[in-house]
Structure 1
């Protein structure tokens, strides 16, 4: 029998817990001005996101590999009274960036509203403890605050994930909060006024345009920042390598993470299928329906590491990544399979150094 009462390590720690030592080192070395209730200055927050070496030799690992100016704009936006909307296709690190921004600025990334088609207005405003409401009547004690309301009371950041998946009438409950910085409680003839330091980081996918478009009134209350896909093959390979290594450590996968030679192949396949042309610009190819984001490349490689660790000798080979690669590309069993087969025969087959990948993918049918 397994002892379920024994303490165990969590599968994924919150950013403020996983990088507590780095945040503490930055706070100790940070002598720059800090906005009200910020744990770090804007400079230190940006250093935390992009990495660097402090004067005492402490290494800050990069959390985001991309444009420094983009992160500076994001941090500067949060230092104003304007909310921040991170926009981009799925897998461009919007949630990852929002979590680390909240961890560095407020010391907590756990005030989150997860947007879905069924997200109620109570998730943005407040609800009621109905047992207490019936027995005692309307009161502050019977009120159940939302993450947004708690952030206003604490003067901290709150994250709203997948904003465009939330029904339009629920989205618009943010308008007063973002413009007036207070939340009316008409049932009590009262209100909650946001403390300095309060702000909102929202994320939304380009692919969700048209699901629940933001009203023009709500759009005006956000500074919108588009997170792009990595500019170069080398940059995307480094992102995948870094995240796969971190996931491998957290999952305790005994694979040789230093020799993941398959990463460049997977990333090349994804970039070519996304762009509709081969890396040498010589061959035009069809694109599948799948997004083929960097996040999906990380997933393919992590699955390959697990296969190599548990069913191989620990070295990731073409056979280990082929199944995950096919599964990532072929989402539509008819159209995407045609696109994939054409790519295998016109591109992969002609690359002599990819013979093992071609064979492994063909064996999967």
Structure 2
């Protein structure tokens, strides 16, 4: 049960940043931030994890320092490094140290946003632990640095991702509170499309959302399209003339490369055409016969 004050703050964030839905998620994020707990946002691509994190940072008047998970972002790059020419000239003085994003966020009391945390190599993940635990960072030759009040880590991970990722250690997972984000409801997704595509026709917004949502439901599609796909489909279709044909054209431009199937032999373009045909048939009141999957291969 949310307090009146917390509910008021959630509505203020939604109003200020144009956020559709997400009342429960925002409330949890506010509670975690006020409780000085680091936040792990888990959800599929394109559900607004980065947007929510940035909105929270701005609402709390904290700087937002972003890094993207990458195997090249090792411990030294995350913490910082010594500038060789200055070290040779002046030694290991403070001026010779170039702070990395973790150190900069800690010393300034900022929010460090780590996109796709599970793409960080193990050494970088381990470097987060002392800062998350005690608010301290150990830099050889420089000593112990202490985080300023307000320092917080918000990280994301895509639960469906399994290629090019590292398993999060139990120690690291234990230092986050987990907040899960799913896809918005159909009505919310239509509202998001209308907000992102100026002057879009209601019917175009509805059909775009329905086509994209079909990709998340189809039994042979392992990973469907994101909310961003609904926005892109509506935007591109709005720029086209013609009847049904424009939907096939715009869908083939925006969707095949964004879906993953459980069978590499499936023709994604044929599959997308079938989904478009099914949705358009429903809007006309038709009841198209479902073709056998083999017809789409």
TM-score, normalised to structure 1, is 0.68
In the alignment, is residue 301 of structure 1 matched against residue 234 of structure 2?
A: yes
| Contact persistence 1:48–1:62 (CA under 8 A) | no
Q: Give the 5 Å matches for 1:346-361.
A: 347-348=278-279, 350-351=281-282, 353=284
Query: Offset of 1:164 from its aligned partner?
Result: 1.0
Unaligned runs of 5+ in 1: 1-40, 52-59, 246-256, 277-285, 356-365
Structure 1 residues 329 and 354, CA gap change in structure 2 (3 angstroms): farther
Q: How does 1:188-337 map to 2 (within 5 A)?
A: 188=142, 190-209=143-162, 211-230=165-184, 232-245=185-198, 257-276=199-218, 286-305=219-238, 307-308=239-240, 320-331=246-257, 334-335=265-266, 336-337=268-269
Tell me how far apart the structure 1 counterparts of residues 275 and 201 of structure 2 sit (CA, whole Å): 26
Deviation, 1:325, is: 1.6
Corresponding position of 1:62: 18
Among 100, 103, 110, the alignment partner of 2:58 is 103
Q: 1:187 aligns to what SS in structure 2?
A: coil
In structure 2, relative to structure 1, the CA distance for the partners of 1:42 and 1:136 (3 Å cut) is farther
- Find the residue that maps to 1:271 and give its secondary structure: helix
Q: Which residue of 2 aligns with 1:35?
A: none
Superimposed CA distance per residue, residues 228-282 of structure 1 (whole angstroms, 9 cap, x where no aligned partner): 101x31111001111223xxxxxxxxxxx15242111111111122123xxxxxx
The residue that corresponds to 1:47 in the other structure is 11
Deviation of 1:186 (Å): 2.3
Instruction: Judge conservation of contact 1:273–1:287 (CA < 8 Å) in 2.
Output: no
| 2:271 corresponding residue in structure 1 | 339
1:42 Cα deviation from its structure 2 partner: 6.3
1:206-234 alpha-carbon deviations (Å, 9 max, x no partner)? 1224721110000000011011101x311
Q: Which has the higher contact order (CA 8 A, sep 6+)?
A: 2
**CA 1:349–1:62 in 2, change beyond 3 Å: closer, same or farther?**
closer
Mean Cα displacement is larger for which, 88-97 or 124-133? Answer: 124-133
1:151 aligned onto 2:83: no
CA–CA distance in structure 2, aligned partners of residues 106 and 139 of structure 1? 32
Normalised to the residue count of structure 2, the TM-score between the two structures is 0.82
Structure 2 match to 1:128: 82
Q: Residues 323, 350 of structure 1: CA spacing in aligned structure 2 closer, same or farther, 3 A cutoff?
A: closer
Query: 1-side partners of 2:63 and 2:8: how far apart?
Result: 16
What displacement does 1:156 show?
Answer: 2.0
CA contact (8 A) 2:126 2:172 kept: yes
Aligned residues: 275
Do the aligned partners of residues 321 and 350 (structure 1) sit closer, same or farther apart at CA in structure 2, a change above 3 Å counting?
closer
State the 1:127 CA deviation: 1.6
Structure 2, unpaired ranges of 5+: 287-297
**Aligned residues: CA RMSD:** 2.6
Q: CA deviation at 1:107?
A: 4.2
8 Å contact 1:290–1:329 — kept in the other structure? no
CA contact (8 A) 1:288 1:330 kept: no
Shift of 1:175: 0.8
Matched, 1:187 2:146: no
Alpha-carbon distance between aligned partners in 1 of 2:237 and 2:59, rounded to the nearest angstrom? 32
